[in-house]
Amino acid sequence: MAAETAQSLASGGSSAPRHVAIIMDGNGRWAVERGWPRLVGHRRGAERVKQIVRACPDLGVNWLTVYAFSTENWKRSTEEVLGLMKIFRRYIEREAEGMSGEGVRMRFIGGRERLDPKLQALMTAIEARTAGNTRLNLTVAINYGGRDELARAAARLAQKVARGEIAAPGEADLEACLDTAGHPDPDLVIRTSGETRTSNFLPWQAAYAEYEFTPTLWPDFTPEHLAAILDRYGLRERRFGGV
Protein backbone atom coordinates (compact mmCIF):
# COMPACT_ATOMS: atom_id res chain seq x y z
CA MET A 1 0.00 0.00 0.00
CA ALA A 2 2.82 2.40 0.77
CA ALA A 3 4.24 2.02 -2.73
CA GLU A 4 0.79 2.51 -4.25
CA THR A 5 0.24 5.66 -2.22
CA ALA A 6 3.63 7.07 -3.23
CA GLN A 7 2.73 6.42 -6.89
CA SER A 8 -0.66 8.09 -6.42
CA LEU A 9 0.95 11.13 -4.85
CA ALA A 10 3.47 11.38 -7.65
CA SER A 11 0.68 11.28 -10.25
CA GLY A 12 -1.37 13.93 -8.45
CA GLY A 13 -4.08 11.51 -7.32
CA SER A 14 -4.06 12.96 -3.81
CA SER A 15 -2.16 15.66 -1.97
CA ALA A 16 0.30 14.65 0.71
CA PRO A 17 0.63 16.63 3.93
CA ARG A 18 3.96 18.42 4.02
CA HIS A 19 4.25 18.02 7.78
CA VAL A 20 2.94 15.06 9.80
CA ALA A 21 3.06 15.02 13.61
CA ILE A 22 2.53 11.80 15.57
CA ILE A 23 1.59 11.14 19.18
CA MET A 24 3.19 7.71 19.54
CA ASP A 25 0.89 6.15 22.11
CA GLY A 26 0.42 2.57 23.27
CA ASN A 27 3.95 1.23 23.75
CA GLY A 28 3.46 0.18 27.37
CA ARG A 29 0.00 -1.23 26.72
CA TRP A 30 1.34 -3.24 23.78
CA ALA A 31 3.90 -4.89 26.06
CA VAL A 32 1.51 -5.47 28.98
CA GLU A 33 -0.98 -7.19 26.67
CA ARG A 34 1.76 -9.69 25.86
CA GLY A 35 2.86 -10.17 29.46
CA TRP A 36 6.12 -8.25 28.96
CA PRO A 37 7.62 -5.31 30.86
CA ARG A 38 6.51 -1.90 29.60
CA LEU A 39 10.05 -1.01 28.53
CA VAL A 40 9.94 -3.80 25.96
CA GLY A 41 7.11 -1.90 24.30
CA HIS A 42 9.12 1.31 24.32
CA ARG A 43 12.06 -0.44 22.67
CA ARG A 44 9.74 -1.83 19.99
CA GLY A 45 8.32 1.63 19.57
CA ALA A 46 11.78 3.06 18.93
CA GLU A 47 12.31 0.48 16.20
CA ARG A 48 9.01 1.52 14.66
CA VAL A 49 10.15 5.14 14.52
CA LYS A 50 13.01 4.10 12.24
CA GLN A 51 10.62 2.42 9.81
CA ILE A 52 8.26 5.38 9.68
CA VAL A 53 11.16 7.83 9.21
CA ARG A 54 12.43 5.82 6.24
CA ALA A 55 8.94 5.65 4.69
CA CYS A 56 8.07 9.35 4.92
CA PRO A 57 10.07 10.77 1.99
CA ASP A 58 8.61 8.24 -0.45
CA LEU A 59 5.13 9.16 0.79
CA GLY A 60 5.67 12.84 0.09
CA VAL A 61 6.18 13.87 3.73
CA ASN A 62 8.98 16.40 4.20
CA TRP A 63 8.58 17.09 7.93
CA LEU A 64 7.89 14.56 10.69
CA THR A 65 7.46 15.48 14.35
CA VAL A 66 7.12 12.72 16.95
CA TYR A 67 6.08 13.01 20.59
CA ALA A 68 8.61 10.92 22.50
CA PHE A 69 8.34 12.15 26.10
CA SER A 70 6.02 14.74 27.60
CA THR A 71 6.45 17.03 30.59
CA GLU A 72 3.77 14.90 32.26
CA ASN A 73 5.63 11.63 31.68
CA TRP A 74 7.93 12.37 34.63
CA LYS A 75 5.02 11.15 36.78
CA ARG A 76 5.71 7.59 35.68
CA SER A 77 7.76 5.18 37.78
CA THR A 78 11.44 5.95 38.22
CA GLU A 79 12.29 2.63 36.55
CA GLU A 80 10.27 3.48 33.44
CA VAL A 81 11.58 7.05 33.19
CA LEU A 82 15.21 5.95 33.54
CA GLY A 83 14.60 3.18 31.03
CA LEU A 84 13.11 5.62 28.54
CA MET A 85 16.05 7.97 28.87
CA LYS A 86 18.41 5.06 28.24
CA ILE A 87 16.44 4.14 25.12
CA PHE A 88 16.67 7.74 23.87
CA ARG A 89 20.45 7.78 24.36
CA ARG A 90 20.91 4.47 22.56
CA TYR A 91 18.62 5.55 19.73
CA ILE A 92 20.55 8.76 19.12
CA GLU A 93 23.95 7.05 19.39
CA ARG A 94 23.01 4.23 17.03
CA GLU A 95 21.05 6.26 14.51
CA ALA A 96 23.39 9.25 14.13
CA GLU A 97 25.33 7.72 11.25
CA GLY A 98 22.26 6.34 9.52
CA MET A 99 20.31 9.58 9.83
CA SER A 100 23.17 11.55 8.34
CA GLY A 101 23.66 9.08 5.49
CA GLU A 102 19.97 9.00 4.60
CA GLY A 103 19.60 12.77 4.40
CA VAL A 104 17.54 13.18 7.59
CA ARG A 105 17.90 16.38 9.57
CA MET A 106 17.20 15.72 13.25
CA ARG A 107 16.12 18.34 15.78
CA PHE A 108 14.64 18.33 19.28
CA ILE A 109 12.00 20.46 20.96
CA GLY A 110 11.13 20.71 24.64
CA GLY A 111 12.91 21.90 27.77
CA ARG A 112 16.37 20.33 27.91
CA GLU A 113 17.46 21.56 31.33
CA ARG A 114 15.89 18.60 33.15
CA LEU A 115 17.51 16.01 30.89
CA ASP A 116 20.76 14.19 31.67
CA PRO A 117 23.78 16.25 30.49
CA LYS A 118 25.06 13.33 28.41
CA LEU A 119 21.73 13.07 26.62
CA GLN A 120 21.72 16.82 26.04
CA ALA A 121 25.20 16.61 24.53
CA LEU A 122 24.15 13.78 22.20
CA MET A 123 21.11 15.79 21.08
CA THR A 124 23.23 18.83 20.31
CA ALA A 125 25.79 16.73 18.45
CA ILE A 126 23.31 14.99 16.16
CA GLU A 127 21.57 18.30 15.43
CA ALA A 128 24.89 19.75 14.30
CA ARG A 129 25.85 16.63 12.37
CA THR A 130 22.62 16.49 10.37
CA ALA A 131 22.07 20.25 9.98
CA GLY A 132 22.75 20.23 6.23
CA ASN A 133 20.39 17.37 5.38
CA THR A 134 17.20 18.09 3.46
CA ARG A 135 15.52 14.78 2.52
CA LEU A 136 13.43 14.70 5.71
CA ASN A 137 13.18 17.01 8.70
CA LEU A 138 12.69 14.89 11.83
CA THR A 139 11.78 16.69 15.05
CA VAL A 140 11.64 14.75 18.32
CA ALA A 141 9.72 16.21 21.25
CA ILE A 142 11.44 15.26 24.53
CA ASN A 143 10.35 16.77 27.84
CA TYR A 144 7.86 18.68 25.73
CA GLY A 145 4.55 20.18 26.78
CA GLY A 146 2.62 22.72 24.75
CA ARG A 147 1.75 24.88 27.73
CA ASP A 148 5.34 24.79 28.95
CA GLU A 149 6.55 25.79 25.48
CA LEU A 150 4.11 28.71 25.36
CA ALA A 151 5.15 29.87 28.84
CA ARG A 152 8.83 29.76 27.87
CA ALA A 153 8.09 31.56 24.60
CA ALA A 154 6.13 34.27 26.43
CA ALA A 155 9.08 34.78 28.79
CA ARG A 156 11.47 35.14 25.85
CA LEU A 157 9.12 37.60 24.19
CA ALA A 158 8.81 39.63 27.39
CA GLN A 159 12.60 39.88 27.55
CA LYS A 160 12.72 41.19 23.98
CA VAL A 161 10.08 43.78 24.82
CA ALA A 162 11.98 44.80 27.95
CA ARG A 163 15.14 45.26 25.88
CA GLY A 164 13.25 47.46 23.45
CA GLU A 165 13.64 45.03 20.54
CA ILE A 166 9.87 44.82 20.00
CA ALA A 167 7.39 47.60 20.71
CA ALA A 168 4.01 46.00 20.01
CA PRO A 169 4.35 42.19 19.98
CA GLY A 170 1.97 40.14 17.86
CA GLU A 171 1.42 36.51 16.87
CA ALA A 172 4.48 36.38 14.62
CA ASP A 173 6.70 37.63 17.44
CA LEU A 174 5.45 34.95 19.83
CA GLU A 175 5.76 32.28 17.14
CA ALA A 176 9.40 33.26 16.63
CA CYS A 177 10.02 32.47 20.30
CA LEU A 178 8.57 28.95 20.15
CA ASP A 179 10.75 25.83 20.10
CA THR A 180 9.51 25.25 16.54
CA ALA A 181 10.49 28.67 15.17
CA GLY A 182 11.17 28.27 11.47
CA HIS A 183 9.24 24.99 11.20
CA PRO A 184 6.05 24.76 9.13
CA ASP A 185 2.89 24.01 11.09
CA PRO A 186 1.74 20.38 10.97
CA ASP A 187 -0.90 19.62 8.36
CA LEU A 188 -1.86 16.32 9.97
CA VAL A 189 -1.64 15.05 13.55
CA ILE A 190 -1.95 11.31 14.15
CA ARG A 191 -2.50 9.67 17.52
CA THR A 192 -2.18 5.92 17.88
CA SER A 193 -3.69 3.55 20.49
CA GLY A 194 -7.34 4.64 20.32
CA GLU A 195 -7.07 7.61 22.67
CA THR A 196 -8.69 10.80 21.37
CA ARG A 197 -6.83 13.46 23.36
CA THR A 198 -4.27 15.92 22.03
CA SER A 199 -2.29 15.63 25.29
CA ASN A 200 -0.68 19.08 25.25
CA PHE A 201 1.03 18.40 21.92
CA LEU A 202 1.70 21.38 19.65
CA PRO A 203 -1.40 23.40 20.68
CA TRP A 204 -0.22 26.55 18.89
CA GLN A 205 1.19 24.87 15.81
CA ALA A 206 -1.67 22.43 15.25
CA ALA A 207 -4.45 25.03 15.45
CA TYR A 208 -5.53 24.24 11.88
CA ALA A 209 -4.20 20.70 11.54
CA GLU A 210 -6.31 17.74 10.50
CA TYR A 211 -6.47 14.97 13.12
CA GLU A 212 -6.57 11.21 12.76
CA PHE A 213 -7.07 8.89 15.73
CA THR A 214 -6.29 5.24 15.08
CA PRO A 215 -6.80 2.27 17.44
CA THR A 216 -3.50 0.75 16.33
CA LEU A 217 -0.88 0.69 19.10
CA TRP A 218 2.35 2.42 18.12
CA PRO A 219 4.56 -0.72 17.96
CA ASP A 220 2.06 -2.12 15.41
CA PHE A 221 1.84 1.09 13.36
CA THR A 222 3.43 0.29 10.00
CA PRO A 223 4.26 2.39 6.92
CA GLU A 224 1.14 0.81 5.39
CA HIS A 225 -0.99 2.26 8.20
CA LEU A 226 0.57 5.66 7.55
CA ALA A 227 -0.02 5.37 3.81
CA ALA A 228 -3.71 4.61 4.37
CA ILE A 229 -4.09 7.64 6.63
CA LEU A 230 -2.37 9.84 4.05
CA ASP A 231 -4.81 8.56 1.43
CA ARG A 232 -7.73 9.60 3.63
CA TYR A 233 -6.10 12.96 4.30
CA GLY A 234 -5.95 13.55 0.55
CA LEU A 235 -9.77 13.36 0.40
CA ARG A 236 -10.28 16.08 3.01
CA GLU A 237 -11.20 19.63 2.06
CA ARG A 238 -9.22 22.15 4.10
CA ARG A 239 -10.81 25.61 4.17
CA PHE A 240 -8.94 27.28 7.08
CA GLY A 241 -12.06 29.17 8.15
CA GLY A 242 -13.13 30.01 4.62
CA VAL A 243 -16.02 28.62 2.58
pLDDT per residue, tens digit, the chain (243 aa), is 444 444 443 333 348 899 999 999 999 999 999 999 999 999 999 999 999 999 999 999 999 999 999 999 999 999 999 999 999 999 988 887 888 889 999 999 999 999 999 999 999 999 999 999 999 999 999 999 999 999 999 999 999 999 999 999 999 999 999 999 999 999 999 999 999 999 999 999 999 999 999 999 999 999 999 999 999 999 887 766 665
Alpha-carbon distances of 183 from 18, 20, 109, rounded to whole Å: 11, 12, 11
Residue 197, annotated ligand binder? Answer: yes
Residue 127, annotated ligand binder? Answer: no
Q: What one-letter code names the amino acid at 38?
A: R
Tell me, yes or no, if 73 is annotated catalytic. yes
Q: Which range of residues forms the domain containing residue 51?
A: 17-144+186-232
Catalytic-labelled residue, pool 25, 179, 187, 231? 25
Residue 163, annotated ligand binder? Answer: no
CATH number for position 87: 3.40.1180.10
213 CB-near residues (< 8 Å, 6+ apart):
190, 191, 194, 195, 196
pTM of the model as a whole: 0.91
Looking at the DSSP bridge assignments, the partners of residue 108 are 140
Task: Answer whether residue 11 is part of any domain.
Answer: no
Tell me, yes or no, if 25 is annotated catalytic. yes
Residue 182, annotated ligand binder? Answer: no
- Of 76, 86, 25, 56, nearest to 212 by C-alpha is 25
CB 48 within 8 Å of CB 226: no
Task: Answer whether residue 191 is part of any domain.
Answer: yes
Could you give the number of structural domains in the chain?
Answer: 1
Task: Answer whether residue 127 is part of any domain.
Answer: yes
Task: Answer whether residue 55 is part of any domain.
Answer: yes
Task: Answer whether residue 138 is part of any domain.
Answer: yes
Catalytic-labelled residue, pool 58, 62, 73, 148? 73
